[in-house]
A and B are shown apart, each in its own frame.
Chain A
Amino acid sequence: MINLEVPKKLRALAQQAHDVAAEYFRPISRRYDREEHKRPTELDPLAAVMEGMAASGATFGAGAGAARKERTREGNRNGANMATLLGLIELAWGDVGLLLSLPRQGLGNAAIAAVANEEQRTRFAGRWAAMAITEPEAGSDSAAIKTTARLEGDHWVLNGEKIYVTAGERADLVVVWATLDPSKGRAAIKPFVVEKGTPGLTVERLEEKLGIRASDTAALRLDNCRIPKENLLGSPEIEVEKGFGGVKETFDNTRPLVAGMAVGLARACLEETRRVLGEEGVSDDPQLPPALQTGAAARLLELEADYEAARLLALQAAWMADNGKPNSLQASMAKAKAGRSCVEIALACVELCGALGYSEELLLEKWARDAKILDIFEGTQQIQLLIVARQLLGKGSKELR
């Protein structure tokens, strides 16, 4: 029976996440935006709190270790994917940069959750894992990865350069994507877990960014970095027909979550703008046709409609994952819609609040800077459109490039 309301049992969990966002994130938001690269130590005790919540089915943070396809079961389920999404919406409402800095909740954790075997899952449990895919010459085109992995006895030897590694400095582990054979394309690209402190792995620099400045974004160098053979996630076989399995599986699971972050940030902007406008006596009336309202009120309604569409698309993608339905198309739709909407909403809210919105007195200008990354990482807007278009048109990457 069709129902698009969030279930009560998950609302309590979302409320917990909201409290964390309101009490821990918001008060230190501005400080860590100004002091880029300073580790927000206030978040350290939160790791335990998050793991407590995880016991109830959800994990928070970019990694969202529990977010994975559920096996099909009889009946309708609202499970870990939806719980995680709802939690992330709330945390992102607080601060996206700080959310990405939550210990032990890295994107690498999602890769481990998606493709690691039991032994590896146990071995890496409770560790904070960053994800290293992008290279200076390979962004959205991850098949162009040049970092190599060479087997020498019981060790893999990694060589290459990785950039834009979220939590690359603070994490305990880095999941490095490297190729076993550059001539064999996607199928030869595999994820390897590298422990921080392994000789040959160095943090080259930390990026200075437009937004999400509370989150460290590192450039890493791998120079004859030797790791144990059993740190390869998945199979070492190069199965051409399976292609890019690992990366795709990971991203199918994380795209709705990034959409959720965008939804949370957009809601923060809308709430703050409604408050600021309300103090000026401007309020919107959903019943009245937009043309009969003030320009600001009409614009706010228009933005809220986009926000709501993005939110429902993200919920749909998570619900499908919870129920074992293939959701690659819906995940990309959600990410595309939420990513572009949150940027548009954040920038429009700055404009609606004028000089005040543009100044550092409010957090709106910071959210507008933070927003932009959500339309870029985990697959840019253009990559999402490609995924959607290829599925709708039945085209492969050779025809529709």
Chain B
Amino acid sequence: MSSASTARRLGLKALRRLSASQPFQRAGAKRRLERFLYVASKESVGVASRLATGRPPARQRQAATQELFDLTPTEEQQLLQGAVREVAERVVRPAAKEADEGLAVPEAVRAQIAELGLVSLGLPAELGGAVAERSSVTAVLAYEALAWGDLGIAAAELGSAAFCTALSLWGDGDQQAAYLPPFATEQPPVGAVALAENRPLDNPFWPRTRARRWGEGWLLEGEKGLVIRGAEAAVALISARTERGPALFIVELGSRGVGVEPQPAMGLRPAATARLRLDRVAVPAEALLAGGDPKVFAEAVARSRLAWVALAVGCCQAVLDYVIPYVKERKAFGEPIANRQAVAFMVANIAIELEGMRLLCLRGASRADQGMEFVREAALARAFAARRASAIGSDGVQLLGGHGYVKEHPVERWYRDLRAIGAVEGGLLV
């Protein structure tokens, strides 16, 4: 099957799901959605021929700069968010416990999430992408909605999207042609972005993994930690330090010298995190992404930070939505515990810090979309979420007391998952 028709089908799948949601019934919405999704547009014609090597890279359009402050998502974003939320509620949340225990996302869940076509959000149309305009805000909104279902499952299912997004943004035509088409097929491979390393005081800008010149190419040596679905991944973007500073390399994980072993963690268990050993792994010169441009590297780190904050926002919203009915029903001393300020104020504070976190994340993403500097904004969002998301995870358990500590309720899982924010770098991108 040509990637062109697959692209159309992926788009149509998403469109079908979207069209089932209520607001879509309005006149004119269908046409706008079709334009948004690139379905049946002339730009998706002749896709396969444009994927040949030697072509310039395909890129998504950048959004125009906005004049006014605005917190209303576009109609298309609302539709997508609604569709993702529906899957998160109906499919993801009920599967979360099993995925946590089984260290894997069940196939049926995986398939339903795949139908949303989130991987193709970051792909240009020529490469099977679904959205004409590059939008980190759209990604943030969708990621948040998915993580509301389960943070670990969201991380597991968005790792490949990160690899695709990186190559769409920064890959050259050859790199795109070599690696992206399989991701638009029925049986897409698993891709990963590996930045984190297994050491305290890990600095993403000074990885211990080294890349040395080796003939025309490079020799990679080092170790990466908490790689999402590392054991299944066919290809990964790996950070390594060259003599000129940190850079990203495309590494096929079947290469000689690559060793993978499971590295289960406190949380993110559905993401089957793994340790990746690189023992004198030889890669060609073409494996280097964006010529080792330090700006691209910084942007990759920043986009990854925003993605994790988006997941944190979704999970913290899940905590809030779970504790509200609980504290209203749970009685102590003859009345609902929600009637006590000590309890009610904890709930209020979860909501306040969560709203702040959401706005910080959206600001970083909207600046990225408009081509503005956003490294500082992403770092602030991460610094905020690193503290607040963990605290919200803790409050979620605290509000349920002993019941929160046992696996009968999901709050203990959220407690574990939310600690990932601030502890890991890489893995996901918006």
Q: Are A289 and B202 in contact (CB under 8 A)?
A: yes
Q: Are B352 and A302 in contact (CB under 8 A)?
A: no
Q: How far is the CB of A299 from chain B (nearest CB, A)?
A: 11
Interface residues of B in 107-131 (CB under 8 A from A): none
Asked whether any CB of chain A lies closer than 8 Å to the CB of B380, the reply is yes
Q: Which listed residue (B68, B345, B359) contacts A309, Cβ 8 A?
A: B359
A4 touching B69 in the complex, CB below 8 Å, given contacts A309-B360, A385-B345, A399-B339:
yes
Which interface residue of B324, B344, B375 has the most chain A CB atoms within 10 A?
B344
Q: How far is the CB of A338 from chain B (nearest CB, A)?
A: 10
Asked whether any CB of chain A lies closer than 8 Å to the CB of B74, the reply is yes
Q: Are A333 and B362 in contact (CB under 8 A)?
A: no
Q: Among B210-218, B363-371, B412-420, which stretch is in contact with chain A?
A: B363-371
Q: Which listed residue (A1, A7, A287, A389) contacts B379, Cβ 8 A?
A: A287
Q: Are B351 and A333 in contact (CB under 8 A)?
A: yes
Asked whether any CB of chain A lies closer than 8 Å to the CB of B46, the reply is no
Q: Are A302 and B387 in contact (CB under 8 A)?
A: yes
Asked whether any CB of chain B lies closer than 8 Å to the CB of A151, the reply is no
Q: How far is the CA of A308 from the CA of B377 in the complex (A)?
A: 9
Is the contact region of chain B dominated by helix, strand, or loop, or is it mixed?
helix
- What are the residues of chain A within 8 A of B205 when measuring CB–CB? 287-288
Q: Are B348 and A392 in contact (CB under 8 A)?
A: yes
Q: Which listed residue (A290, A309, A401) contacts B357, Cβ 8 A?
A: A309
Asked whether any CB of chain B lies closer than 8 Å to the CB of A312, the reply is yes
Q: How far is the CA of A401 from the CA of B340 in the complex (A)?
A: 8
A301 touching B383 in the complex, CB below 8 Å, given contacts A5-B69, A6-B69, A7-B67:
yes
Closest to A306 in B: B384
Interface residues of B in 317-340 (CB under 8 A from A): 320, 324, 327-328, 336, 338-339
Q: How far is the CA of A337 from the CA of B355 in the complex (A)?
A: 10
Scan A307-328; emit 1 where CB is below 8 A from any B CB, else 0.
Answer: 0111011011001000000000
Q: How far is the CA of A400 from the CA of B327 in the complex (A)?
A: 12
Scan A275-295; emit 1 where CB is below 8 A from any B CB, else 0.
Answer: 000000000001111111000
Q: How far is the CB of A284 from chain B (nearest CB, A)?
A: 10
Q: Are B341 and A400 in contact (CB under 8 A)?
A: yes
A305 touching B327 in the complex, CB below 8 Å, given contacts A7-B67, A388-B348, A388-B351:
no
Interface residues of B in 299-315 (CB under 8 A from A): 301-302
- What are the residues of chain A within 8 A of B328 when measuring CB–CB? 393-394
Asked whether any CB of chain A lies closer than 8 Å to the CB of B255, the reply is no
Q: How far is the CA of A304 from the CA of B380 in the complex (A)?
A: 7
Q: Are A289 and B203 in contact (CB under 8 A)?
A: yes
- What are the residues of chain B within 8 A of A7 when measuring CB–CB? 67-69
Count of chain A residues near B, Cβ 8 A: 50
Q: How far is the CA of A3 from the CA of B69 in the complex (A)?
A: 5
Count of chain B residues near A, Cβ 8 A: 59
Asked whether any CB of chain B lies closer than 8 Å to the CB of A201, the reply is no
- What are the residues of chain A within 8 A of B201 when measuring CB–CB? 289, 291-292
- What are the residues of chain A within 8 A of B302 when measuring CB–CB? 287
Asked whether any CB of chain A lies closer than 8 Å to the CB of B243, the reply is no
Q: Which listed residue (B67, B355, B366) contacts A2, Cβ 8 A?
A: B366
Q: How far is the CA of A327 from the CA of B310 in the complex (A)?
A: 24
Scan A373-401; emit 1 where CB is below 8 A from any B CB, else 0.
Answer: 00000000010011011101111000111
Q: How far is the CB of A263 from chain B (nearest CB, A)?
A: 12
Interface residues of B in 229-251 (CB under 8 A from A): none
Q: How far is the CA of A400 from the CA of B338 in the complex (A)?
A: 7
Q: Which listed residue (A2, A394, A401) contacts B71, Cβ 8 A?
A: A2
Q: How far is the CA of A368 from the CA of B73 in the complex (A)?
A: 38
Interface residues of A in 1-58 (CB under 8 A from B): 1-9
Q: Are A2 and B72 in contact (CB under 8 A)?
A: yes
Q: How far is the CA of A290 from the CA of B344 in the complex (A)?
A: 32
- What are the residues of chain B within 8 A of A400 when measuring CB–CB? 338-339, 341, 344
Q: How far is the CB of A88 from chain B (nearest CB, A)?
A: 16
Q: How far is the CA of A304 from the CA of B67 in the complex (A)?
A: 25
Q: Are A8 and B67 in contact (CB under 8 A)?
A: yes
Asked whether any CB of chain A lies closer than 8 Å to the CB of B298, the reply is yes
A389 touching B360 in the complex, CB below 8 Å, given contacts A287-B375, A288-B205, A309-B384:
no
Asked whether any CB of chain A lies closer than 8 Å to the CB of B153, the reply is no
Asked whether any CB of chain B lies closer than 8 Å to the CB of A78, the reply is yes
- What are the residues of chain A within 8 A of B71 when measuring CB–CB? 2, 4, 316, 319
Closest to B141 in A: A2
- What are the residues of chain B within 8 A of A167 when measuring CB–CB? none
Q: Which listed residue (A1, A306, A312, A390) contacts B359, Cβ 8 A?
A: A312
Asked whether any CB of chain B lies closer than 8 Å to the CB of A336, the reply is yes
Asked whether any CB of chain A lies closer than 8 Å to the CB of B39, the reply is no
Q: Are A287 and B301 in contact (CB under 8 A)?
A: yes
Q: Are B69 and A305 in contact (CB under 8 A)?
A: no
- What are the residues of chain B within 8 A of A9 when measuring CB–CB? 67
Is the contact region of chain A dominated by helix, strand, or loop, or is it mixed?
helix
Asked whether any CB of chain A lies closer than 8 Å to the CB of B66, the reply is yes
Asked whether any CB of chain A lies closer than 8 Å to the CB of B349, the reply is yes
Closest to B354 in A: A333
Which interface residue of B63, B338, B348 has the most chain A CB atoms within 10 A?
B348
Asked whether any CB of chain A lies closer than 8 Å to the CB of B101, the reply is no
Q: How far is the CA of A77 from the CA of B372 in the complex (A)?
A: 23
Q: Are B344 and A393 in contact (CB under 8 A)?
A: yes
Closest to B344 in A: A389
Closest to A308 in B: B380
Q: Are B298 and A4 in contact (CB under 8 A)?
A: no
Asked whether any CB of chain B lies closer than 8 Å to the CB of A359, the reply is no
- What are the residues of chain B within 8 A of A390 when measuring CB–CB? 344
Q: Are A316 and B359 in contact (CB under 8 A)?
A: yes
- What are the residues of chain A within 8 A of B298 when measuring CB–CB? 287
- What are the residues of chain B within 8 A of A8 when measuring CB–CB? 67
Asked whether any CB of chain B lies closer than 8 Å to the CB of A76, the reply is yes
Q: How far is the CA of A312 from the CA of B70 in the complex (A)?
A: 12
A305 touching B366 in the complex, CB below 8 Å, given contacts A5-B69, A333-B355:
no
Q: How far is the CB of B188 from chain A (nearest CB, A)?
A: 29
Asked whether any CB of chain B lies closer than 8 Å to the CB of A82, the reply is yes
Asked whether any CB of chain A lies closer than 8 Å to the CB of B356, the reply is yes
Q: Are A302 and B203 in contact (CB under 8 A)?
A: no
A310 touching B69 in the complex, CB below 8 Å, given contacts A4-B363, A393-B324, A400-B341:
no
Interface residues of A in 343-380 (CB under 8 A from B): none
- What are the residues of chain B within 8 A of A310 when measuring CB–CB? 356
Closest to B352 in A: A333
Which interface residue of A5, A288, A302, A304 has the most chain B CB atoms within 10 A?
A5
Asked whether any CB of chain A lies closer than 8 Å to the CB of B83, the reply is no
Q: Are B356 and A312 in contact (CB under 8 A)?
A: yes
A interface with B by C-beta (< 8 Å): 1-9, 76-78, 82, 286-292, 301-302, 304-306, 308-310, 312-313, 315-316, 319, 330, 333, 336-337, 382, 385-386, 388-390, 392-395, 399-401
B interface with A by C-beta (< 8 Å): 63, 66-74, 77, 137, 201-205, 298, 301-302, 320, 324, 327-328, 336, 338-339, 341, 344-345, 347-349, 351-353, 355-357, 359-360, 362-363, 365-367, 370, 372, 375-377, 379-381, 383-384, 386-387, 425
10 pairs of residues in contact across A and B, judged by CB atoms under 8 Å: A2-B137, A7-B67, A76-B68, A76-B72, A286-B375, A287-B379, A309-B356, A382-B341, A389-B341, A395-B344
Q: A390-B344, A393-B338 are in contact. List 17 more A-B contacts (CB 8 A).
A: A1-B72, A3-B70, A3-B366, A4-B359, A4-B366, A9-B67, A76-B70, A78-B68, A286-B379, A287-B298, A287-B302, A289-B204, A308-B384, A310-B356, A385-B344, A385-B349, A389-B344
Nearest 7 pairs of A and B residues by beta carbon: A309-B356, A286-B379, A3-B66, A312-B359, A389-B344, A305-B384, A4-B363
